[in-house]
Structure 1
Amino acid sequence: MPSVTHEALVELFKNRPTLAAEMLQDALGQPVPAFTEARVVSSDLAEILPSDRRADVIVVLLVGEQQRPAMAIVVEVQLGVDPEKPYSWPVYVVQTRARHRCPTRLLVVAIDAEIARWCARPIDTGHPGLTLTPLVLGPEGVPVVTDAAQAATAPEVVVLSAMAHGQSEAAEAIGVAFLAAAAGLDEERRAVYGDLVLSSLNAAARRTLEAIMKSGYEFQSEFARSYVAKGVEKGREQGLLEAKAQAVLAFLEARGLEVPAEVRERVLASTDLAELDRWIRGAASVGDARELLATTGS
């Protein structure tokens, strides 16, 4: 079942049909024909694939009074490695090309850099000369939107920017730029996009934005509530890990034992609460700090 993050990204491309063409041209440097309209069309490719196997979004760029298809863009959001995709993606492209009788591009959106590299691998179909190389929009290709005017004209782009760069130093500026765009959105998009942006930002940037926004703001979508809850829980666990690690070191030092750099680094790097508890108990009896790691098989 697609995750809420997957569905959120898909909605960005559905809500702004020109987004696929903008990302191809502006972020990836791929030529896009001049068009008068970008239209989201049915992504059901049931002629060949089962009904539960369909592209995430298909956008057709139309030209002229006759609304002739100039290019089709198959948009696929990919959040993890899926060995089935190298087999289904070529089908999406070929089938879409046949249906709309126009050149067709595959745009894969991956907000994780490692997944983006996996998605970009050429797909050898087995037919001589027929190799499909996906066009991948990874985090490095997503623009960092900090300009309020740009955000106001392209709110989906600034949301995408927050999802890709929300943990960077630019997070606060991205969030403030989004606030400038939020006033022009309808109530539903303002709620959903606001939650997406806030839940994507690092803690410092989120605190700044929450202070700017009206008092008593609450996350309005289940996506953001669950996302932030996980972040809070992760923060609590990280704080407990750090406290226990410091307790181990403090116990050793209080007993007058020298703590070598390699021991200090190993203790501070631990992500196992049970291991840290064993070290706290062991710190009371070891004669040398190095013994602490040796007694636990580390």
Structure 2
Amino acid sequence: MYVSRPSRRTALVLAAVALAALAVVTLIAYLTAGQKATPTAKPPLEPPVAPVHVTKKQLAALPRATTYAKLRHAEKDPAPHASATGQILHPKHTKILYTTPGGPPLAVLPTTQLDNPTWLPVIETRPGWTRVLLPTRPNGATGWLHTADNSTEQTANPYEVRVDLSDRRLTLLKHSAPTGSWPVAVGAPDTPTPTGRTFLLASLTPPEITYSPLILPLGAHSEVLQTYDGGPGTIGLHGWPDSSVFGKALSHGCVRLPRQALTTLSHLPLGTPVLVSA
């Protein structure tokens, strides 16, 4: 069969149509690619949750969140072996602690702890709310403060203390870099030093200096001893006159420090996180 060739005019028309189609396809591909590259809009932030109303009667019945208290309904620390946020918080006046943002009241947080100003490490924040570690039993207890009313003071803290129970060594970090490390004595097998993150609660000078010129109570308690020497079994950092104990596990749970370590730690801000690992 014989097929005649298309005329020059017809060929030009067909070429023009093909070029136009190619241009349309290219434009569609470009626009589609542009649409894919455009970031999706972020969802709006949820408004802060308001705290529940607490009556005067309920407020009077709430326990005080101190080293002497036990808060059975407190939420446990969700990351007990992690570093804190680098922020510490001080209540300007007595504040209500809540189990969760918008949840039921848990306790009241006083402005002082053991005659020292209350400073607690921040471990989580949400709009209008701040979660802190508490100095109460059980170890790792946490509570939420409604902070949208500017009734708290919050500041950055570059320090962290780490205690390695297996190496029996304490290390001080500043901005995550070690600045000092010392052998220490830790809890004996029958009265171990509790693990997890806690914090410097107070700095106390004993009325009569025996084994240490300074006691640094922590926001943690012995898991074995409910009371010790008239107190609630609070774990602390303190000095010890006999250097032969360092590097050993023989205390009632406290961490015994060389003189230089105690002097260095005495200058740390209250609320400084202390991370104890096995």
TM, length-normalised to structure 1? 0.21
Looking at secondary structure, tell me which structure has more strand per residue.
2
TM, length-normalised to structure 2? 0.22
Indicate the structure whose relative CO is greater, using CA pairs within 8 Å and at least 6 residues apart: 2
